[in-house]
Structure 1
């Protein structure tokens, strides 16, 4: 399924379907299933595993990737309040300890915050030089913020922008996605099924029936058809992971895409960047 792949600026190639972990690790009863789910996804080739210090589940993610670290593209994030010149590095060290690994593949600033971005970027580049992170990037950043990052020393080495993107939240198509595409900057789409809400949409249900699929698989296939885009749905069970994986083999027709555009119109003007 690696035809659906995304290449990072440093030439590392990953499957365009990854695994999100937001809201995972909250229940001791579900934790074993969630670990099994993440491991099943990694075995299928869904190597991008996304977490954050804010999620409070890095220990669980660390347990899930144990013994599989060389097959995982591990992403975590620093909280904006911690992203100072020294705080960024300290946050990275804490994440590495919780994840029980000596490096992360991609370290993101979770959203814009109080510290000068020059300081955050300088720390990110130092962490790279020390081998603690392979690459750094940002999350929840719109075009003006991206322009500011690109303007500071080392800012153009930003390797990804992770944003809320799905059929119900298409505002980024107006200017942010074209901006990222022009610069060959990979985009990570979180909440690609809109927290499950898209599963009840009648148009998605109709298209799903035609493809012998589920509405969520159609929502994922719609994102996966975009070049340079990584979708990171959350799945708390092995069955759910396998369902998500099947979205890689769905080919939406032009008619399908037109129907979806009718139900979820693309933006015709600048829309404020959505986030959870």
Structure 2
């Protein structure tokens, strides 16, 4: 099954990638190698994950040309401005052992964030060819609109998104700006897999609930996803979502699931998701 591509503001991102949090060391490197051998071409990491070295080693060991792998990393929220982001990014590149990343994101906003300086810093990194595209992660609607208004050509927003969390407002903002949206925790950390409605639709298709959850995201225009999967079996299962086609009845059943379940909302870090 051919991997669909999300195109947004010059970015071409494979729509199913490998999430690597919280894997580290040999486990992480092995997972990256396995995923790439199965056909994944998109790997997501971050400075804070502490696994950029393992991700870089996995990509190198795969034997694939660097240009065939879409690599995302993220700079932690204690770097509030362009110069701090640049210093951290240079270290990320060294750990990843790569000459560039395909997408560079601000990981979380903070109260100290100098948005203009931070975005200028991202744009400067892109201008040097060290990041092919730039974006943000975990920005609520108002802050995202402010960032878009800066006019630096953001390509992507990464946020929690799954069958039990409505992100239509953020998705609408991204679509209007020509941006893509990457869903992290697209399986709601397993919290959606016991929903009877999802299980019924999965049984109809001879698929697993996880595959249905990912297929629902694939049915959303402009959305990619990075499910974490350490084992080849789970990685292959997730790719099975590509073969599923949901009909109107399926979509209605999934629409009836709760849509207010947020599984990543760390105290002291998460923004005001509604008013921020």
- TM superposition score normalised by structure 1: 0.88
Unaligned runs of 5+ in 2: 262-271
Tell me which residue corresponds to 1:168.
164
> Residue 64 of structure 1 is aligned with which of 58, 63, 85?
58
**Structure 2 contact 148–177 (Cα < 8 Å) conserved:** no
Tell me how large the CA RMSD over aligned residues is. 1.9
Equivalent positions of 1:66-105 (< 5 A) are 66=60, 67-68=63-64, 69-105=66-102
Deviation, structure 1 residue 243:
0.3
**Structure 1 contact 2–15 (Cα < 8 Å) conserved:** no
Unaligned runs of 5+ in 1: none
Deviation, structure 1 residue 2:
4.2
**Structure 1 contact 42–71 (Cα < 8 Å) conserved:** no
Give the distance between the partners of 2:231 and 2:5, measured in 1 at CA. 24
Deviation, structure 1 residue 229:
0.4
Tell me which residue corresponds to 2:198.
204
- TM superposition score normalised by structure 2: 0.88
Secondary structure of 2:131's partner?
A: coil
Secondary structure of 1:180's partner?
A: helix
Equivalent positions of 1:123-138 (< 5 A) are 123-138=121-136
Deviation, structure 1 residue 112:
1.0
Tell me which residue corresponds to 1:194.
188
**Structure 1 pair 212–248 and aligned structure 2 pair: CA distance change class (3 A):** same
Tell me which residue corresponds to 1:246.
240
Counterpart check, 1:4 vs 2:1: no
Give the distance between the partners of 1:129 and 1:63, measured in 2 at CA. 26
Count of residues paired in the alignment? 260
Give the distance between the partners of 2:137 and 2:199, measured in 1 at CA. 31
**Structure 2 contact 164–257 (Cα < 8 Å) conserved:** no
